[in-house]
A = this chain, B = another copy of it.
Amino acid sequence: MTTTTTRTATPVAPSRGALTPLGLDEVRVTGGFWAHRQQVNAEASLAHIEHWMEREGWIGNFDAAAAGTLGPGRGGREFSDSEVYKLLEAMAWEIGRTGDDALEARFTAIVARVAAAQEPDGYLNTNFGRPGQPARYTDLEWGHELYCFGHLFQAAVARLRTRPDAQDGLVDVARRAADHVCAAFGPDGIGSVCGHAEIEPALVELGRATGERRYVEQAALFVERRGTGTLADIELGRAYYQDDVPVREATVLRGHAVRANYLAAGAVDVAVETDDDGLLAALTTQWENTVARRTYLTGGQGAHHTGEAFGDDFVLPPDRAYSETCAGVGSVMFSWRLLLAQGDPRYADLVERTLFNVVATSPSHAGTAFYYTNTLHQRRPGTVPADDVASPRASSSLRAPWFAVSCCPPNVARTLASLAALVATRDDDGVQLHQYVPAQVRTALADGTRVELDVETRYPSDGVVRVRVANDVDREWTLTLRVPGWAAGATLAAPGEEARTVAPGSVGVTRRFAAGDVVELRLPLVPRVTVPDPRIDAVRGCVAVERGPEVLALESVDLVAAGAAPGVDVADVRLDVDAGLREVDGRVVARVRLGAPEDRSWPYGGGQDVLDGGALDVPLVAYHDWANRGPSTMRVWLPV
């Protein structure tokens, strides 16, 4: 088969599949929760990230490489080139979204500096191959060379699909690099893979965007090699980089959570482009087992700091949850690809959960500080990181402006800039809405039928979603709406009909729609108490509170504001489930009982008194909002 050249303005545009993505030119987010975050991303985060990358010398490395002055002791980690490429990708989507001329100029300037560093044979990496540097491809385990190429390719795809006629040269740089990779790692080349998956989805997408089938075939080769032990057996074990079991034989994600998700995303791409149903089935099983047994309530993935890795089944400690922001981005990538391939709304459920509770949690309100890890239980208030120092990546008591390993900020930026691509899809029969944001959808079905929709909602503050059809259509088509898994009791009103209850999953309305027709979905946004599977040992005897797609948390600043005695902390709180949950001024209020156990010289034995500190009504905070009001402790799982 051949690969169709797809120039839809979206990060993922498969040749086949149950659903076809819509581009940023077809879906415009017009307001609400995500539009605000996109605005902060555009106005603050992109410049903040660019500033730090200049300051740390990560962009400057390309200048030095071009000037021939790079050698040992270059600044930045071995993968810092990739951060620059992620920034370029974020900028490209943002330019595609808004047409920002000033940003276009900044983008073009950085591209020129990157391009100048490319070597004649297409190789491009500021950390390898020069006198005093390690030779190319001598450290596939940790060198990240192919990983960096992957992010270069994704940036180029973003550019090609939003500004196909641009003259900046980024796409040419990427094609030359991809040709080099195919030559170096093809069937007769180096028979191994990169320690950090990423080039797999990137090569497929570059192939989709350029029509170069060789790129897809090279990605397939990387996927097949993975798990055959071509990388060294490091102390963390080959599972760390998924080189323990072939992709098509694995049953669950394991090892480094970002690597695992990027690989899975790329393997879905390969399966789709090569009609490999066996591989796709294996990845579906991996997704199911990972979601059922290795995913936090927030959608976060990665239970251990060591190896930034998945734990065993049901090992999901809330304190020291790693839940790396980038693993959340990777999970969205994996789920989104399965959704396009198979159409099952459960994938969009996880995308929504992860967007609201991982991706949206990372940046501060101002967009200039980030979480790298996303703990579900903060035991000590910590201190505000200095705004002029890069932090250790896993400290995370409060958001930090930058990290020595700073993969997460540009990953959030590219996700937010391209977020409209996750909102809706089409198939031959109609349009599917997966995420509820105020939006304009303007697209055409395969037969040319125009479909124009305006989505009005205050979700997730409010559960009413109105989809107004904006054009008359001269045929029947189906509007499909996702009913989230948590939304038992949701109702749907089709034009001219009474509202009816609809079950979680998805619901379609098939009509010869007329302009002005309104389909109204009402999602019950009452706060709910969530009980964990008893096999999750770390949260036995605890519950969480959720409201719609948002996980809520108890933050110590709210305890203090509610009148708790000085020193009372989230450690001293038990949720009074019988008292129920109320909503006051838009916040969910819970009743908690306070009481610190008496201190003892040895913390085991029984018979310990817990002092009665009385009860208190305290508002909960959306998890993504926590730690925006100064140092605080926090917990999602509350003992009962």
In the complex, A578 has a CB within 8 A of chain B: no
Q: Within 8 Å CB of A486, what residues of B?
A: 605
On whether the beta carbons of A535 and B319 are closer than 8 Å, the reply is: no
Q: Which of A479-500 contact B (CB under 8 A)?
A: 485-486
On whether the beta carbons of B603 and A532 are closer than 8 Å, the reply is: yes
Whole-angstrom distance between the alpha carbons of A394 and B236 in the complex? Answer: 9
In the complex, A226 has a CB within 8 A of chain B: no
Chain B nearest Cβ from A283, distance in angstroms: 16
In the complex, A48 has a CB within 8 A of chain B: no
Whole-angstrom distance between the alpha carbons of A380 and B395 in the complex? Answer: 30
Question: Do most interface residues of chain A lie in helix, strand or loop, or is the interface mixed?
Answer: loop
Q: Within 8 Å CB of A295, what residues of B?
A: 603
Q: Within 8 Å CB of A312, what residues of B?
A: 319, 379-380
On whether the beta carbons of A392 and B538 are closer than 8 Å, the reply is: no
In the complex, A533 has a CB within 8 A of chain B: yes
Given A379-B312, A380-B312, CB of A535 within 8 Å of CB of B305: no
In the complex, A629 has a CB within 8 A of chain B: no
Stretch at the interface among A268-276, A539-547, A557-565: A539-547
On whether the beta carbons of B601 and A291 are closer than 8 Å, the reply is: yes
Q: Within 8 Å CB of A392, what residues of B?
A: 235-237
Selected contact of A304 from candidates B320, B485, B538, B542, CB within 8 Å: B320
Chain B nearest Cβ from A637, distance in angstroms: 8
On whether the beta carbons of B639 and A540 are closer than 8 Å, the reply is: yes
Given A237-B392, A320-B315, A404-B235, CB of A530 within 8 Å of CB of B605: yes
In the complex, A44 has a CB within 8 A of chain B: no
Whole-angstrom distance between the alpha carbons of A346 and B600 in the complex? Answer: 13
Q: Which of A507-553 contact B (CB under 8 A)?
A: 529-538, 540-542, 544
Given A235-B404, A393-B235, A531-B608, CB of A601 within 8 Å of CB of B538: no
In the complex, A65 has a CB within 8 A of chain B: no
Given A292-B601, A601-B291, CB of A606 within 8 Å of CB of B530: yes
Q: Within 8 Å CB of A605, what residues of B?
A: 486, 530-531
Q: Within 8 Å CB of A604, what residues of B?
A: 297, 530-533, 544
On whether the beta carbons of A485 and B602 are closer than 8 Å, the reply is: yes
On whether the beta carbons of A603 and B293 are closer than 8 Å, the reply is: yes
What range describes how many residues of A lie at the interface?
Answer: 35 or more
Interface string of A43-84 (1 = CB under 8 A from B): 000000000000000000000000000000000000000000
On whether the beta carbons of B600 and A292 are closer than 8 Å, the reply is: yes
Whole-angstrom distance between the alpha carbons of A486 and B605 in the complex? Answer: 8
Chain B nearest Cβ from A357, distance in angstroms: 12
In the complex, A597 has a CB within 8 A of chain B: yes
Whole-angstrom distance between the alpha carbons of A297 and B540 in the complex? Answer: 19
Q: Within 8 Å CB of A536, what residues of B?
A: 603
Query: A404: nearest residue on chain B (CB-CB)?
Result: B235
Chain B nearest Cβ from A493, distance in angstroms: 27
In the complex, A101 has a CB within 8 A of chain B: no
On whether the beta carbons of B291 and A602 are closer than 8 Å, the reply is: yes
Whole-angstrom distance between the alpha carbons of A214 and B319 in the complex? Answer: 46
On whether the beta carbons of A533 and B297 are closer than 8 Å, the reply is: no
Given A288-B601, A602-B485, CB of A542 within 8 Å of CB of B544: no
In the complex, A571 has a CB within 8 A of chain B: yes
Q: Within 8 Å CB of A530, what residues of B?
A: 604-606
Q: Which of A300-324 contact B (CB under 8 A)?
A: 304-306, 311-315, 317-320
Q: Within 8 Å CB of A305, what residues of B?
A: 304-306
On whether the beta carbons of B606 and A531 are closer than 8 Å, the reply is: yes
Whole-angstrom distance between the alpha carbons of A304 and B307 in the complex? Answer: 12
Whole-angstrom distance between the alpha carbons of A606 and B600 in the complex? Answer: 35
In the complex, A610 has a CB within 8 A of chain B: yes
Q: Within 8 Å CB of A304, what residues of B?
A: 305-306, 320
Whole-angstrom distance between the alpha carbons of A360 and B424 in the complex? Answer: 61
Whole-angstrom distance between the alpha carbons of A602 and B533 in the complex? Answer: 9
Interface string of A221-236 (1 = CB under 8 A from B): 0000000000000011
Chain B nearest Cβ from A303, distance in angstroms: 9
Q: Within 8 Å CB of A534, what residues of B?
A: 597, 608, 610, 639
On whether the beta carbons of B533 and A603 are closer than 8 Å, the reply is: yes
Chain B nearest Cβ from A395, distance in angstroms: 8
The 30 listed contacts between A and B (C-beta, < 8 Å) are A235-B393, A236-B392, A237-B392, A288-B601, A292-B599, A292-B600, A292-B603, A295-B603, A304-B306, A306-B394, A312-B379, A312-B380, A318-B537, A486-B605, A529-B606, A530-B604, A530-B605, A531-B604, A531-B605, A531-B608, A533-B597, A533-B604, A533-B608, A534-B597, A534-B610, A535-B603, A536-B603, A537-B542, A537-B639, A541-B541
List 5 additional contacts besides A532-B604, A535-B603; criterion CB under 8 Å: A312-B380, A314-B571, A315-B320, A319-B537, A530-B605
